[in-house]
């Protein structure tokens, strides 16, 4: 699935799934902009990718409209175009429902959902202008979660934000369909990122994850990146408004599976 000479912006790409997506895009021939609030991690990520292809880092807090505007302007100044946007930036704040602070709810929603809206709108305006001038339409890929559909009681803001992400995906896809601009989302299950790494060292926690995962393993960031590469490519040219769940079979499961003893 070639992304040769395409320009892609990936938010929250300094590490984890975002970095895996950026790496896959570079390997597939794209020029990639890593957008993140962590400057040192972002610069280090770019150095890693430069051995594979072309990449640059731009500091961006996606919850701030001016930051997003600058991200788009700097990308266009550097590469002259934006073909693909991946809204991956997101945070998690855990708390019991009765103890959850309003500020934490607002912070998660502002980054996870409002940030995706701001980036989508800013990039889509460029894409629409390009289409109206005879250019090729681009596409947007949103990073949702299985927790857009199921829920975790002590992760209320995160679950709400990902439910909203699914609706943002559908409504944006419908609004932009007449321009040929596609919008889709990916819903990862349990993926081996820094946030989940502690599970490997906790046998009880790992068993709980395995019990709800029919494929009996934790997914790799590269497997989510593969779905993103498909959605960003011409192979997905007639796919829009969809959420693709990459979860090892978790969502169809209506019971826990038996986990073999090691």
Confidence of residue 1 (pLDDT cuts 50, 70, 90): low
Confidence of residue 205 (pLDDT cuts 50, 70, 90): confident
Positions marked active-site = 158
pLDDT at 191 over 90: yes
Confidence of residue 8 (pLDDT cuts 50, 70, 90): very high
Q: What is the CA radius of gyration of the chain?
A: 18
pLDDT at 195 over 80: no
pLDDT at 12 over 80: yes
pTM for this model (two decimals): 0.96
**Which residue from 241, 202, 197, 239 is spatially nearest to 221, judged by alpha carbons?**
197
pLDDT in tens, 88-98: 999 999 999 99
DSSP readout, 74-121?
HHHHHHS---EEEE---------GGG--HHHHHHHHIIIIIHHHHHHH
């Amino acid at each position: 699935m070639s992304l040769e000479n395409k320009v892609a912006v990936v938010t929250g790409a300094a590490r984890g799934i975002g970095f895996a997506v950026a790496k896959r895009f570079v390997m597939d021939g794209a020029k990639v902009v890593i957008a993140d609030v962590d400057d040192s991690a972002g610069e280090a990520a770019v150095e890693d990718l430069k051995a594979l292809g072309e990449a640059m880092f731009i500091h961006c807090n996606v919850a701030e409209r001016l930051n997003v505007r600058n991200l788009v302007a700097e990308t266009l100044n550097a590469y002259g175009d934006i073909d693909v946007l991946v809204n991956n930036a997101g945070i998690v704040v855990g708390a019991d429902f009765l103890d959850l602070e309003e500020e934490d709810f607002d912070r998660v929603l502002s980054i996870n959902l409002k940030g995706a809206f701001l980036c989508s709108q800013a990039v889509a305006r460029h894409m629409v202008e390009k289409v109206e001038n005879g250019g090729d339409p681009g596409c947007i890929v949103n990073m949702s979660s299985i927790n857009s559909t199921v829920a975790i009681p002590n992760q209320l803001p995160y679950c709400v934000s990902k439910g909203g992400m699914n609706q943002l995906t559908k409504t944006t896809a419908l609004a932009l369909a007449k321009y040929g601009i596609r919008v889709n989302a990916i819903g990862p299950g349990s993926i081996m990122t820094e946030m989940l790494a502690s599970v490997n060292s906790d046998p009880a926690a790992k068993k709980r994850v395995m019990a709800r995962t029919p494929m009996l393993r934790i997914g790799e960031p590269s497997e989510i990146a593969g779905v993103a590469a498909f959605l960003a490519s011409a192979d997905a040219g007639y796919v829009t408004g969809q959420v693709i769940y990459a979860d090892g079979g978790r969502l169809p499961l209506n019971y826990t599976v038996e986990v073999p003893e090691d």
